[in-house]
Structure 1
């Protein structure tokens, strides 16, 4: 497909995904907040609680029924299409970015799978994830919410560990996100909306509603709420190669997911006398620890200087300053400028990705921190290692960056 068309497809679908995703997440957050802040003291007969709120210059009074009113209102607002279109646009985006360019972003550089096999495995993982989650959530574990949460979290992290063995770090991350997104929309489509339809039908038929279905829907809704922040991180993770590009990428994803869950739990429970306020500094500490343990640097001695952690035997050459800019420039021209140039030779790109070009020495020096992070430390560039950049070439760039370079370079 023409790269210009692909870029605009990416833009249009990503924008739509963001718009409907915001609508879905906003509604989810609001209704969980509403449920947690209902005034349940001495409610009117048939009510579970009510709430007064002020917003946008107006005062609102909301009431929640224990199950349902005696008569169906003329207008009843449903919240479902936001979820459905978020999943649909997400799948389209997955196809445009990862499946049409499987060798570039989905497959690991040393993958033994073909591109079609990798795509098939990715799609299969989404539905296997849903069926495993649904079975666990309907098992006896549903009576033990904390145990269920731990089992589900362990299952997600096991899946992420398995995926990083067959996909690129970026491809593995996005498929964990897509798996969780599929579970969330599955909860809406298979559990929450059917429970609501049964509730409405019971009112129309003037029979008592089944209280088990709304209770199950509420549990799944809470699951969706806690899964939201990990998914949002995964959506932006491709901008942070030190996470998905780390050799411990699955563990970093686990840590960041815990941070997101902690933050969500605080906001879900802050009406309870702020008893979980400690989760905020705990989450901040967790971020600091993750940044520290994922550091690509190492100490070089008592002087506390730091050097890039590269696998290179010619350390003496570095110390003597024997690596020249010309050597580095040759590697970058061969391995990087096929994409990062004013006129990329890679047919998948009509312009340099992110506008980053390495055509001149000044360009290379200006973008050196990014080159080091993405090509030397995390090795996520070139994507899929399509230009077959060697470890020795990566080490050469890292070692040149670590040595004392003349100002003219």
Structure 2
């Protein structure tokens, strides 16, 4: 089997797992969270017992296998054939890796507390999981921009632009760990912020 076929299989799997992961991310942020705000106590309790754990299973394992297949693709020599492509891949990869870590190190451990599967303070855990989930939604736009841009968006980039993008993304991750949701409290807010962040990343890569 040629290297091209193997790479295609991993790329196909990467996209498939990514659809599962990000689809569940959007479901949690755009559907389930908003539903829980309005649901009656009994309906919410039933959903937290039967629905949320199933959804979180697909969510976290979708993230895991998206990360693993992406890691294989990232190690491909052809992925770094030129600086312009590699800069975009690094931006997308940085966002994706942070999102993966947020899932397994912040969202899932705190969601276990919220669901009563682990000891801890429910409201505090819910706030931490919620902020990390909003941050992942924020990063989803730039992550996809990096993935698609490396193949389909010819542009001149610089090391300065790449460093600036990394600083912005890491600063927002720090906010996701220790800050507040701010404008991302509302669904429309996090969507707008993700689009805005994607534009900022594009501008930094294009003009610095």
Using the size of structure 1 for normalisation, the TM-score is: 0.37
Question: What RMSD over aligned residues (CA atoms) do the two structures have, in Å?
Answer: 4.2
CA distance in 1, matches of 2:52, 2:92: 35
- Provide the residue aligned with 1:183 in structure 2: 98
Offset of residue 6 of structure 1: 1.3
CA distance in 2, matches of 1:74, 1:223: 23
| Contact in 2 for aligned 1:192/1:221 (Cα 8 Å) | yes
Runs of at least 5 residues in structure 2 that lack an aligned partner in the other structure: 170-183
CA distance in 2, matches of 1:191, 1:38: 22
Number of matched residues? 181
| Contact in 2 for aligned 1:36/1:269 (Cα 8 Å) | no
* TM-aligned CA distance change 1:175 to 1:74, over 3 Å: closer
Offset of residue 239 of structure 1: 2.6
1:69-111 CA distances to partner (integer Å, 9 max, x unpaired)? 7xx559941331101000011001112x23xx58x626xxxxx
Structure number with greater CO (CA < 8 Å, separation at least 6) is: 2
CA distance in 2, matches of 1:105, 1:209: 49
Using the size of structure 2 for normalisation, the TM-score is: 0.67
CA distance in 1, matches of 2:154, 2:132: 33
CA distance in 2, matches of 1:39, 1:174: 36
Q: Which has the larger radius of gyration?
A: 1
Offset of residue 177 of structure 1: 1.6
- Provide the residue aligned with 2:81 in structure 1: 105
Runs of at least 5 residues in structure 1 that lack an aligned partner in the other structure: 48-62, 107-167, 259-264, 271-275, 296-409
| Contact in 1 for aligned 2:17/2:62 (Cα 8 Å) | yes
- Provide the residue aligned with 1:85 in structure 2: 65
| Contact in 2 for aligned 1:169/1:249 (Cα 8 Å) | no
1:49-64, aligned counterparts within 5 Å? 63-64=43-44
Kindly indicate which of the two structures has a greater share of residues assigned to helix: 2
CA distance in 1, matches of 2:151, 2:160: 14
- Provide the residue aligned with 2:128 in structure 1: 216
Q: Of the candidates 20, 24, 27, which is equivalent to residue 23 of structure 1?
A: 20
Counterpart check, 1:200 vs 2:116: yes
Kindly indicate which of the two structures has a greater share of residues assigned to strand: 1
Counterpart check, 1:250 vs 2:128: no
